[in-house]
Chain A
């Protein structure tokens, strides 16, 4: 079972460059989310989606864009990379069964991003 797959696993960018972090899930989950993990701060929500064509901002959305054209894919775009965006990025998905918030999230193994 693939679950949630994130690519690439590692990336180094220069300030001002743009890139897209890919996330795909094969569990037919309605909900998908992007988080960043920084030391001592836990995970912070960047953007989330409750279904294809629907996205919304989380706690730290600035500098990031998302789209959800299919149930399976939820890419995260960095528009103009900044050193403050150096972090580990996690994508997660969950079922909508039982209503919003009821089901646990399944996480990918992360993308480690360094901005020079």
Chain B
């Protein structure tokens, strides 16, 4: 069965600095990888996905993620963080079956 791990519960970064939110995965076949963001009292919103192709995936709000097959990682990145990026971020993996497995989430705080 597939699984995903987010090793950091909390990430703090200053506004304007680059940010990275880490994710590692485990699947038996080719992974479908996703990043979602959750704001308070809201559902998850899709940021970006990796299905196949280029290892660097660009998504919404200036976010991007790098797929690394050898390290089984899919880290979320942004060159310059904004205070409004503060939220809960979830990595998810979905293999050729239909269900999706989520990480426990990483709370990102961007300080002015």
A-to-B contact residues, CB < 8 Å: 4, 31, 33, 35, 40-45, 48, 50, 56, 58-59, 90, 92, 98-102, 104-110
Say which size band chain B's interface belongs to: 20 to 34
Given contacts A4-B43, A42-B90, A109-B43, contact A58 B104 (CB under 8 A): no
**With A and B bound together, what is the CA distance between A107 and B36 in angstroms?**
10
A45 and B99 contacting across the interface, CB-CB below 8 Å: yes
What is the minimal beta-carbon distance from B95 to any residue of chain A, in angstroms?
A: 7
The number of residue pairs between A and B whose CB atoms lie closer than 8 Å in the complex comes to 65
B41 touches A109 (CB 8 A): yes
Interface of B toward A, CB cutoff 8 Å: 9, 32, 34, 36, 41-46, 49, 51, 90, 94-105
Besides A102-B32, A104-B49, A105-B100, 16 other A-B contacts (C-beta < 8 A): A31-B98, A33-B99, A41-B104, A48-B98, A48-B99, A50-B98, A59-B101, A90-B44, A92-B43, A100-B97, A101-B94, A101-B100, A102-B51, A107-B36, A107-B44, A110-B42
A104 engages B34 (CB within 8 Å):
yes
Chain B residues with Cβ below 8 Å from A101 are 32, 94-98, 100
Once bound together, how far apart are the Cα atoms of A44 and B96, in whole Å? 18
B106 → chain A closest CB, angstroms: 10
